[in-house]
Amino acid sequence: MVPSVLALVLAAGAAASPLARHIDTDADAHPQPYARRAPPRPCTTPLPLTNYGPDLTYAITLSLGTPAQNLTFVVDTGSPDVWVLSSAVAGLSTGPGFDGAASSSFVGSSEEFHNVYGSGEVRGAWASDVVCLGSKCVRQAFGVIDAPGPGVTFEGTPVAGVLGLDWGLPGREQVHAPLWRQLSQAWGDKQFGLRLSRGPTDYFGEPFARAGAVGSSLTLGGLNRAQYAGTLHYIPLAGTTDFWRVALGGVRVAGRPVDTGALFAALDSGSSIISGHPASVAALYAAVPGAWLSPGGRYFVPCDGVAGGSAPRLGVGFVLGGREYALADADAVLGAFGAAAFNGTAPGGTQLWCMGSIQPFYAWPDYLPPAFVLGIPFLKSWYSAYRLAPPAIGLARAV
């Protein structure tokens, strides 16, 4: 399935650190007291997200069934479906799964549910029940997973499933409408907004300058204006509306254009990394001095500057809708490894090597053109809006 391929739900690290920060929603939810002549603003309340990893998974609470079972879900703009681990599945998460038998509104089925992710696959059966997100409830079809494949784990977190916020293949909404499509029928403003804020430290343990200023949030039927600077720049979706992808105008490394051959970029909040067609990723790292492809198939760059507690300066930018959107240097690497970790295969003697946050997706399907999937490392710098009509994504600098 095309959309599923783009979702790389990586296992969150064992050292889960819940960093949910509750944000002041008053500014967005209520009209100004004296602005009586102004038209009423839509009552959109940003829903807080919890950052696990840190920065590997951003999760939200959904209430399923009657009485409500409040469970934790990965927020994933790279896949369309909701699925939840059955309470019979043990050991994949620190939290409970969903118990359909305990819900008076649960309707099961024998229709198979099967999703393939970049990092694994899940199997189960379609079901439906009352699902509430924030204060909004609908009857929603979702997958109940009793057979998660290898590679699917939420170890160290209470995550019980995935909240897909993608489109799905054309016609999908007539079969199993994504939750956001159902909820959008009541939205005056046909878009949702996402802010993924950084954990308190980078991968070198150094504090981020503005950590803790605002929390991560999902806003449905509007945007959280407190979390971005200036105005959003909207970019129409490329091709058919199957997933949140736009034409990629180019890739720059240290200010210079690099011909990666990639034709589009997709936004994927369910991916802990930025992934791309192997040839596109290879072209990008060919422009980074000293970059090295390990025998394990991962790109590393020399960690110059790490001794001083900072990430190497890669200066990667993606050109979308005619503007360059930078990947912050601090988000371009995922941590440092000593040369000893590579059993003598690493070049450069005793140098420290930083694993890039941009990595090849080797199972790239033939029917998709080369592209980049911009996951969490990219989205931490940019507030993103996902607009239903006309279909577009919007980006603005996150604050």
Ligand X SMILES: *[C@@H]1O[C@H](CO)[C@@H](O)[C@H](O)[C@H]1NC(C)=O
List of residues contacting ligand X (CB under 6 A): 63, 68, 70, 295-296, 341-343
Least distance between ligand X and beta carbon 220 (Å)? 15
Q: What is the dihedral of CA 22, 28, 32, 33, to 10 degrees?
A: -50
Least distance between ligand X and beta carbon 213 (Å)? 26
CA 49/CA 133 separation, integer angstroms: 12
Token digits for 29?
Answer: 């939810």
The residue among 135 and 185 lying less far from ligand X, judged by its C-beta, is: 135
The residue among 48 and 151 lying less far from ligand X, judged by its C-beta, is: 48
CA 41/CA 252 separation, integer angstroms: 40
Least distance between ligand X and beta carbon 218 (Å)? 15
Residue with tokens 């240290």: 254
CA 378/CA 265 separation, integer angstroms: 11
Token digits for 336?
Answer: 């440092």
The residue among 234 and 342 lying less far from ligand X, judged by its C-beta, is: 342
Provide CB contacts within 8 A for 90, sequence distance 6+: none
CA 161/CA 71 separation, integer angstroms: 8
Least distance between ligand X and beta carbon 201 (Å)? 26
Q: Cα–Cα distances in Å, from 111 out to 84, 127, 326, 341? A: 15, 8, 43, 46
Least distance between ligand X and beta carbon 337 (Å)? 9
The residue among 69 and 79 lying less far from ligand X, judged by its C-beta, is: 69
Q: Cis check for the bond before 80: say yes or no (omega within 30 of 0).
A: no
Token digits for 17?
Answer: 């650190």
The residue among 72 and 79 lying less far from ligand X, judged by its C-beta, is: 72
- Candidates 160, 220, 172; CA nearest to 194 is 220
Q: Cα–Cα distances in Å, from 2 out to 70, 120, 142, 350? A: 30, 15, 18, 42
The residue among 187 and 342 lying less far from ligand X, judged by its C-beta, is: 342
Least distance between ligand X and beta carbon 353 (Å)? 10
The residue among 255 and 344 lying less far from ligand X, judged by its C-beta, is: 344
Least distance between ligand X and beta carbon 94 (Å)? 16
